[in-house]
Chains A and B, each alone.
Chain A
């Protein structure tokens, strides 16, 4: 059997433990889909796979036990999925009959967001789809996730780009009954950013993380949401075999447009220019380790005018830990 494994992997099929068998990965941008797509997933699993499906950690589906030579047939079958979950978003896929055209950039995942959740500060699936449109198809190894509030249920903190929805509480003093619900809650559950002065609530903007909990607690609507939606963009979190670490805040109180531009700049100017092409692939976080944060910052913020509200990390100490402490040193020049 002759298989171009690189080609197959790019087509979103996996090289598996079982020789001759592959597994198809289906992207679900934003993690929310119409159930009509289940019919096709079921059909492929029944007719070509082993009748099972794995729900992936990035909110896709993986259909195991497919014969390599059935890839063209399976690709034809999943055409409606590509149409519904990619083309409909605006992703440019030239040949809809030949399956996924890239797998490097992982599915953009999202928590359930404000379609259902009371805490979420925006529609996470919508933004995930918008990002998918900008970055897919692409071969660069980048992980992006979108979460509705700083509870971070999607674990944006272990992504290369983690987008966390914020709101800026608006205070109408004349509606405040000084009940203390917001102050008490912020102290117990958040960052103690609220205080009483003369029976009115004072918000310490440096401490406030924009979660919106105070708005949820206020019985009179004295605290309400800002019309503008804001985000915290955390970067370069990862798991892996070298240096697992939590993402760190890069931009705070930033808007959606800026985030999209930053991500695009990262693909088009930063990774493109600095990736180590001697490797089969290089995960973006390790590029940042090599070039340093300053260069990353310069490249991804190019041609962007930041609103005065936006805070940019002056420096980032990514931390985490090294599995092999000796990786810091090598013998000789390599």
Chain B
């Protein structure tokens, strides 16, 4: 069903939806930018469409809604274990096609990688409905087209927000009722971006052999990368976590087990008992990340892990670009500079 409506009508629908759903969208977090006097766009709950930010790419991805930054898995005490309650409400996320593809990458890791599903992820993931924000122009650092992550039909509602009007393509029968008597019926389907400003050539994963490990291309990143972890934490597809057993001070027998994000660029990521640690050089961390995104994951799941949202480029304080690095790899294994 295609509909066209104004903000007021859409907000009426949001109000009705908010009885059963928590609604997340990119929002402006006033004064919460890293530097003084700056804002940052991140994911948060909205009550009305005016709260959502459409003109900027969010600094943080919607990943944290389905894969919380710090998540208590269970509480323990003596001989008892208890899982925390999950909110009764379901979840609606307003997000772009690349991020929908990104969450599908998380699904691969958490739900389809090996024998068991990650129940903690699944509990939150099963609640989610996608409201896809039409993204036909993209941003400077995007390379979703090269990653084939520019399109998706995995959404409940596709939406175009333009000039005070909202066009909706409603695929989810359950939601037709909510929107049914609002606005005018129109023929609408969202457009997708067909060409990014930057071009990325992905090397054939089969050609990315063990030889590339020793290549001098990584040396540059030994110098440039400061291992701050911002690429990992802004990434929609980075899914590494570490476990923490916390014993409460007042009673050392009770506590909680939780997991928290980590990533290949975060210090301590590969620390082992006895103090051994892999990939101490930052270039090796860049190598691990890049090859995971365009080679290892591809070999296992048949698509690149990165969706080309470009957030890692946006947030890197050293202006390191993953897309540039992928292009360098292409030139190395395909023989010859194509990406000047």
Name A residues whose Cβ lies closer than 8 Å to a Cβ of B: 114, 118, 120-123, 148, 165, 167, 173-181, 184, 198-199, 212, 215-222, 224-225, 227, 229
Contact = CB atoms under 8 A, between A and B. Distances in A.
B197 interface: no
Interface string B244-268: 1011010000000000111000111
Contacts of B26: none
Chain A to chain B: the 7 pairs with minimum beta-carbon distance, closest first: A219-B229, A219-B233, A114-B36, A219-B230, A177-B261, A199-B244, A177-B260
B262 A177 contact: yes
Contact of A225 (B31, B42, B60, B268): B31
A128 B249 CA distance: 48
A206 B230 CA distance: 29
Contact of A224 (B32, B233, B244): B32
A123 B35 CA distance: 12
A216 B37 contact: no
Interface of B: 29, 31-32, 34-37, 40, 42, 60, 68-70, 228-230, 232-233, 242, 244, 246-247, 249, 260-262, 266-268
Contacts of A123: 37
B254 to A, nearest CB: 13
B36 A174 contact: no
Contacts, number: 81
B229 A181 contact: yes
A180 B267 contact: yes
A217 B34 CA distance: 9
B40 A181 contact: no
A177 B34 contact: no
Contact of B268 (A114, A180, A212): A180
Contacts of A180: 267-268
Contact of A120 (B31, B36, B249): B36
A198 B248 CA distance: 8
Contact of A114 (B31, B37, B40): B37
Contacts of B70: 173-177
Nearest to A115: B37
Contacts of A173: 70
A217 B242 CA distance: 20
B228 A176 contact: no
A280 to B, nearest CB: 42
Given A177-B261, A177-B262, A199 B35 contact: no
Contact of A215 (B34, B233, B261): B34
Nearest to A123: B37
Contacts of A181: 228-229, 267
Contacts of B35: 114, 118, 120, 216
Contacts of B229: 177, 179, 181, 219
A179 B36 contact: no
A175 B261 CA distance: 9
19 contacts: A114-B35, A114-B37, A118-B34, A121-B36, A123-B37, A175-B69, A176-B69, A176-B260, A177-B229, A177-B260, A178-B242, A179-B262, A179-B268, A181-B267, A198-B246, A219-B232, A219-B266, A221-B34, A225-B31
A199 B36 contact: no
Nearest to A184: B267
A41 B309 CA distance: 50
A215 B266 CA distance: 16
Nearest to A117: B35
